[in-house]
Amino acid sequence: MTHFLAKASFAALIALASIPFAAPNASASELGRPPVVSVQYRPVYACSPVQAVRKARFAGLRYARITNVTPRRVVVSGRNYRGWDQMVFANVRGCPLIRR
């Protein structure tokens, strides 16, 4: 019986000692406001390979796929009505066509 009383009193002592430490932590966060998440918005100034393939398919290139991507250009290869062809887009916003 003495072991039970010793363990129960020790558990009560630990529980009472932890209450003052838990209260400031709970009141530190503001209730009702979501936590602040830092999201950085980076505008896109380059030609997306997906956008280049879409533009090539719209221009009539079938089976279009990316062949080469450099800091200056994006090359898309595929077939048109004459045979294999390439379209070269500038690697800037909007993917302007450089050469067909």
- pLDDT at position 11 is 75
- pLDDT at position 48 is 87
Average pLDDT for runs of 10 along the chain of length 100: 73 68 53 66 77 93 93 93 93 90
- pLDDT at position 25 is 54
- pLDDT at position 20 is 61
Residue 49, class by beta-carbon neighbours within 10 Å (0-12 exposed, 13-18 middle, 19+ buried)?
Answer: middle
- pLDDT at position 9 is 77
**CB distance 50 to 72 below 8 Å:** no
- pLDDT at position 45 is 74
Helices then strands, each counted (H, E), the chain: 2, 4
